[in-house]
Amino acid sequence: FSQKACHVLLSGARSRQTIGARGIASGMVKKELHGQLRSFSIREVEAYVSNEVRTSKYTLWNFLPKNLFEQFQRMANIYFVFLCILQVIPAVSNTAGTPTVAIPLTFVVVCTAIKDAVEDSRRRKSDRLENKQLVNFVPPDGSTTKLPSKVWRDVRVGEIICVRNREFIPADCILLGSSDTHGVAYIETANLDGETNLKLKRAHGVTAKWIGTEGNPDAGDLAAAAAKLTGRVECEAPNPSLYTFEGTMNVKFHTDKPLQADLSLTSTHMLLRGCKLRNTAWALACVVFTGHESKIQMNSSQAPHKQSALEKLANKLMLIILAIQVVLCLGGAVAGAIYQGGDAVGEKYLGVEESSAAELLLYGVTKFFTFLIIFGNFIPISLIVTLGVVKLLQGFFIGADEDMSSGGTKAAVRTSDLNEELGQIEYIFSDKTGTLTRNRMEFRKCSIWGNSYGMGIAEVRRRVLKKMGLPIPADPVPPPGSKKTPHVNLVDSQLDAVLADEDTEEYRQCLRFFLHLAINHTVMCEPSNTPDVPVAYSASSPDEGALVYAASHFGFTFSSRDSTGLYVNVRGKEVKIVIEADFEFTSARKCSSIACRIQWPEAPEQYMVFCKGADSAIMRRLTKECAASKTTATTIAHMEEYARDGLRVLCIGGRYLSYAEYQGYIEKFQTASMAMDDRQGKLDEVAALLEQELELWGATAVEDQLQEDVGDTIASLQEAGIKIWMLTGDKVETATNIGVATSLLTNAMHRTVLTADESKQAHEVDAAVRKACQDASSSAPNRELALIVDGFCLQSALKPDNIQAFMALALRCTAVICCRVSPEQKGAVVRGVRDIKKAITLAIGDGANDCNMIQSADVGVGLRGEEGMQAFNCSDYGLSQFKFLKMLLLVHGRWAYRRNAKLVLFMFYKNVVVVLPQFYLNAVSLFSGQRLYIDLMYQLYNVAFTSFPIIVLGVLDQDCSKNDSLRHPQLYKLGPQRFYFNKEVFVQWVISGMWHSLVVFCVPYLAFSGTQIPHSDGGLTDLWTDGMIVYLCVVIVANAKCAIENMYHTWILWAILAMSVLAWPVCLMIFEGNPALESFGTYEMTSMASRLFATPIFHIVVLLTAVVALSREFLWKSFRRTHFPTPYHEIQDRFNRSLGPNAPTEVQPRQPVEHHDTSGYPKSDGSRRPSLTTYTEGDKAFDHFATRAVGSDATPRAHPVLPGATDEPMEQPAVVVSAGSRKSLTHT
């Protein structure tokens, strides 16, 4: 081969240099990495990172020390270790030097360690399976008749491996050749980005020519061919960017006529670890990155940690409780020291002598630590473990809910730590395409050279007309026998007539238009399973797939692809297109382009540039003559009409090149492709030169239908007080109509529209945006507001000088629509609301361009969409459809918030009840530091006696049924208002605990103290017996309090409650007189059970204590329900009335949505819970009542039903920037 031939082969490779919005990582290679190049020789093993992958944290030898080290970095565990240390110090210990606090601490640590071990064992098993997979490799000498194999962990950089069809790729490699003669290989990237459609990879034409062999040759041929190849690779350092790669390869072929060539390497030539080879018999590749330096491993970092607002407040309250504990200890120590130096001296039986000031100070310090041990259980040690178990079980039931299942795909809880956040959402940020819509595209209309083709209106426009009460035109009927093609729904006999006459100018314009659709794409061909469809297409973007199907529908069929380009059947004639420069779509350029040679079978070769993209990108690249032409004006009018129909619009443009111009661009492209310094920047410069002086050939209009029940879901969420923002990359007109069709926008809303032309100066946009925000903020104070803003104005609004004014306006609005926004802007908007408003936010999307906002929000929800699993993989919760968001928030989220709030409050409450009686005892014993309980029983309080009932409440409790929660979204407003968990509620629970602790101490103390002889053996009631009675009363009262707070009583709850209370006599009988437990003080329990149970007053005192303590709960709750009811009280009363003999007659002004209660929650009678299915006049009273109870600013809205009206609110918004003109920036 000559050097010129090498360049020809080199230029034929299709390069993919840029990263679109699909990137999982940021998509940008950090600039500093370019200075850290990797250089190695082919077929020479280099000493780089091992290919063994280990995602597990522990080994058999380091599990115990490492896990303990991690656990004891938590402040709660450190605190209880400190108490254990105090308990073994004789001077301050009141447990005879036995660290009894170690019992609950050990339980918590062991439970956490078991959980960590189970999770890590799964990771270790997965690692073992991956590292022991086999792969064939080419020996360095190439002398073999059978390719040997090795396990993945032994693969090294520089080796040449052979991957067979349907095998996974063991490391990041450079493709050298494949079973295809052109070096083409197909891979499936589901492990990388969740996309199941095939991707095309190519070897360089030089290496593919020498290694490529038809079919499946024997191993000797492959080894011999690979053995002739040597060279050196120089490339970028390992980095997490999945869609970029820059490098060069100097290759040598040792044949009779040795050949050397310098080749450019791009992402097109890379096979990444974790991908699967498909539809390719074999592929030879050179290993570049191994192990943890591979791109999939560098992208496997943990998602950002998110902590719920409830947990944050609980941590603050824990500090308050700790402060209270310190105050009690300090007060007890000071009082003890005062008594020690005063009253105690006069009591001879105490044997206390006068002490010096220094001795009293030492005494006080000693007693401080003694009281710290006694009051140690003020901090609920089991809170973290209990809350974690409850959240895990809640997540299980969310995933098991059949009402959130579609096509066998159920909801997925990827992190259960945020369950309660689902019940406190104030703002929802939603993508449009694939989230509110189906992301299943249909080619509906097109504009070609000023002529619009396609009849009928889209579904979005149909819904808008229906809401406005306007007549809806009938759908066009295709003629009998017309061609049917997937993803194409264009009916227009005029276009068929134009394509039938090849001698007209209109035909030539259509030829150029549809040829563009068939060429400029990244779609792959696959065998078709449908007889009527010659070829099936696999596209990473549904839009591209619809455009290629449309071209095929009208006779321009993309048939195959090779390393030099592709083949298109143009109405029966095979045409070869050689693609020599390719620039994929990026969010910065907003267009994609190719430079190619079209080899007509019976005509001269043509050199052309094809460019398609957003109207804002294409319009500024047009020639002056084309931009000012009547045809362009007509096309713009057509695009605006398509956008009003809710269609997705794309501009189609291009230009012809002379041979000299074409060669000049290709040479610049090749030079930029070989650069190792700022290659991407140089390629962008070439793209800017190529994408200029274009002609506008037309526009496409693709329909993306709305998902099922989107309007009802949005209306219910708005009725629940949640504000919804739509963040989309579509045009303003398209997004506005989608907003109307989905009930996001209503005619009652006062709209502010901020749009601007990108050609305007930034300071002009800044000034206009500031003025618009000020004017809109001061107008319509008593009306619902809606804000519509495009990406260019949003960029200005998010600047530090403008963001406060913009957010002041946006946060007043009921609905906000941001159009033409980039992924970075989506994340910035979410962070702005989260940080400025301090509101709990939720972001939902389905594509990789939504990952930024999903991770920026407090709660991220990912949909399993048509664009892959990127959004799902980085989310906290996964759904299959947007409509399930209503069930997730209004039912499971509200339940989880209320349950977890009750759980946290109860954990603090029950420790107050058990700890304060010991303070009361010391108040009547000169603050001597005496404990009340036998320590073994005391330490089992949080483990055996009170832990399980609250778990049942946290998992199963329901204040209202699922159907009632959906029917009355106003109930959800209690969550954002922090109704169930705030500082005031916390104080109420603490006061309740103080009252209960006072009762459970005083009643037994007064009944058994003094000289009374209540026992049949004539003995007095000693301290430990009285403490055991108090302890039993604490257990009964605490569990009864849990039962009272529970509103959904089942046999499971009652069984757990009974077991918790009965655990007291069981433990008493097991521990009394047990010699093995004497170090824990159990010798004081000898014969205690028989004495207590034989004493009648014991039973009376226990019953009286429970009645006195709990009477306050019943009286207060009855009074509150009667005179100050909450919304859920009204729902419960109406539900109970519906079950009685005088149930209300079914009158349904609005149709309720029936949801089968299949959430997995057990019912008390084993059957399905009946649901309230009526909406009577009582609902009107409830709406008013809910508004009064929840807050005047949370007015519930019925599902919006727009009466007959005109288009005026939509066509003439209240505030417009750049209204009507694309060339000027004004404020009207």
Active site residues: 431
Angle of the 383-400 helix axis to the 894-923 helix axis, nearest 10: 160
- Determine the straight-line distance between the first and last CA of the chain, rounded to whole angstroms: 68
| Three-state SS at 482 | coil
| 518 touches 472 (CB < 8 A) | no
C-alpha distance from residue 597 to each of 205, 394, 607 (Å): 18, 60, 5
555: left (phi over 0), alpha (psi -120 to 50) or beta: left
Instruction: Read off the amino acid at residue 1091.
Output: R
What residue spans of 98-139 are helical by DSSP H?
102-131
Give the integer Cα–Cα distance in Å for 1193 and 85. 54
Give the integer Cα–Cα distance in Å for 31 and 15. 21
What residue spans of 645-709 are helical by DSSP H?
659-674, 679-690
What residue spans of 877-975 are helical by DSSP H?
884-887, 894-923, 935-939, 947-956, 962-967
Give the integer Cα–Cα distance in Å for 1023 and 921. 10
Encoding tokens for residue 937? 């029983």
Contacts 24+ apart (CB under 8 A), 660-669: 661/607, 662/595, 662/597, 662/607, 665/581, 665/595, 665/689, 665/690, 666/11, 666/580, 666/581, 666/595, 669/15, 669/580, 669/581, 669/595
Give the integer Cα–Cα distance in Å for 436 and 651. 24
Give the integer Cα–Cα distance in Å for 378 and 365. 20
Give the integer Cα–Cα distance in Å for 137 and 144. 11
771 membership: H or E segment, kind and range: helix 762-778
Beta bridge partners of 164: 282
Tokens 């030169």 sit on residue: 689
Tokens 């941001």 sit on residue: 818
Tokens 């996964």 sit on residue: 878
Encoding tokens for residue 716? 């219910």
Encoding tokens for residue 596? 């190619």
Beta bridge partners of 689: none
User: CB-based contacts of 592: which residues, under 8 Å, 6+ apart?
Assistant: 520, 583, 584, 585, 611, 612, 613
| 1000 touches 917 (CB < 8 A) | yes
Burial of residue 591 (CB within 10 Å: 0-12, 13-18, 19+) is buried
| 1018 touches 1094 (CB < 8 A) | no
E strands, 330-448, are: 412-413, 427-430, 437-448
Beta bridge partners of 251: 231, 261
739 membership: H or E segment, kind and range: helix 732-741
| Three-state SS at 270 | strand
Give the integer Cα–Cα distance in Å for 1183 and 1170. 22
The number of residues making up the chain comes to: 1228
What residue spans of 503-541 are helical by DSSP H?
505-519
595 membership: H or E segment, kind and range: strand 591-599
Encoding tokens for residue 184? 């083409």
| 514 touches 652 (CB < 8 A) | no
